[in-house]
Amino acid sequence: MKIFVAGATGAVGRRLVPLLVEAGHEVFGTTRSEAKKKDLLGAGAQPVVVDVFDAGALTRAVVSPPSAGRNH
């Protein structure tokens, strides 16, 4: 199952993402920081860098997350 985790590098997200990946899910996780992309990749998730205060960008990220193997 494809799962989109908002705040994937936050207090809850950084613990949740590895559990979801381990369970076999394809995980897309948001972060506001380019620097934290590597944390998500290391956890097995596809990073989506987005400013949550930019409604248009956030909508695009949720509606059309990057395909596997593609980084933003």
What pLDDT score does 67 carry? 57
Q: What pTM does this model have?
A: 0.81
Tell me: the pLDDT tens digits for 19-40? 999 999 999 999 999 999 999 9
Best CA proximity match to 46, nearest among 11, 12, 10, 3: 3
Q: What is the CATH number of domain 2-63?
A: 3.40.50.720
DSSP letter, residue 67: P
Tell me: the pLDDT tens digits for 10-20? 999 999 999 99
Residues forming a β-bridge with 3: 27
Domain boundaries along the sequence of the chain: 2-63
Best CA proximity match to 20, nearest among 39, 5, 36, 42: 5
- The four Cα atoms 9, 20, 68, 4 give a dihedral, to 10 degrees, of -60
For 56, what's the count of Cα atoms within 13 Å in the CB-facing half-sphere? 0
